[in-house]
A = this chain, B = another copy of it.
């Protein structure tokens, strides 16, 4: 396993591999890797012969006052976790923005990619520059690494949709694959931020995944009123001491709110326990629809709702 830090060395590596007939998969991460990331690596190996994982905390997606400085980091631990999975390259670049060297700002960088509709709802409400930062760094990494396929976790559902849209609209030659949420045994969606939960908050945060499952059951039993389902989740999390940023049932592709669950939607939640902001979501379909995703073709049927792999 090779660690590459220079942009040109990274691109040279990919080009040499491609010339030799290899197919390259790429997984962008901000490090502090957990089982969720490792599941993306395993998925990557199904789609390619070589795997590149980037570890880079993208400052451009943090607004002032957000948790950039406290975002957990453990590069040596990351390498230990990746090694047994036969990852070929860990790309751990120096700063990727042309900054005024004397400051932390982006004075030397002025090009930003906006996915204008998908960046606005859900997380975009509270974090107006977040998806601008995500789209821009992913485009940069695609241009540096030049992968054939890239793997994203659907825990960050809106991010996955933003990237798919960007790739389609800007004609990137990269296949985008979304992977199911990896969960702890008790149901909590895996996240690098989970380590910052207190023991009590850790327990209370289970209200998120538990209430999402309850909503799923309610839909199966015939409830299709989105407001009723959202109220169920909102109350469960609030009662457990969480603060809900949003709990919305939205169209899977446009992320626009729906009134009734009459076509495939996703129930997306962001909630805070203590100072830790957690995301979770569940794809839902009304009982009348067969369990498939009409937005995209689905070559391999997924084992259960919200856990399918959708090909772009």
Residues of B within 8 A of A166 (CB): 111
Inter-chain CA distance A146–B174, complex, in Å, is 13
The smallest beta-carbon distance between A123 and chain B, in angstroms, is: 17
B7, B19, B96, B165: the one within 8 Å of A111 (CB): B165
A112 surroundings in chain B (CB, below 8 A): 113-114, 116
| Chain B residues positioned under 8 Å from A113 (CB to CB) | 111-114, 170
Q: Give, as a whole number of angstroms, the nearest-CB distance from A118 to chain B.
A: 7
In the complex, chain B residues whose CB is within 8 Å of the CB of A114: 111-114
A140 to B172, CA, bound (A): 8
Complex CA gap A139/B140 in Å reads: 12
Q: Do A168 and B136 touch across chains, with their CB atoms under 8 A apart?
A: no
What band does the interface of chain A fall in when counting residues whose beta carbon is under 8 Å from B?
Answer: 20 to 34
Total identical chains: 2
B171 close to A136 (CB less than 8 A): no
CB closest chain-B residue, reference A113: B113
Shortest distance in angstroms between A275's beta carbon and chain B's nearest beta carbon? 31
Of residues 168 through 196 on chain A, the ones whose CB sits less than 8 Å from some CB of chain B are 168-173
Provide the A145-181 mask, 1 if CB < 8 A to any CB of B, else 0. 0100000000000000000011011111100000000
Residue of A96, A115, A165, A169 contacting most chain B CB atoms (<10 Å): A169
- CB of A42 within 8 A of chain B? no
Structural contact, A11 and B173, CB atoms closer than 8 A: yes
Q: How far is the CB of A64 from chain B (nearest CB, A)?
A: 18
A98 and B11 within 8 A (CB): no
| Residue of B11, B118, B146 touching A110 (CB-CB under 8 A) | B118
Q: Known: A19-B19, A110-B165. Is A171-B115 also a contact (CB below 8 A)?
A: no
The reply on A125 being an interface residue by CB < 8 A is: no
Q: Please name 23 pairs of A and B residues whose Cβ atoms are closer than 8 Å in the assembled complex, sorted by A.
A: A7-B171, A11-B173, A98-B168, A98-B169, A109-B169, A110-B115, A110-B116, A110-B117, A111-B135, A111-B165, A111-B170, A112-B114, A112-B116, A113-B113, A113-B114, A114-B114, A139-B170, A140-B170, A143-B170, A143-B171, A143-B172, A144-B171, A146-B173
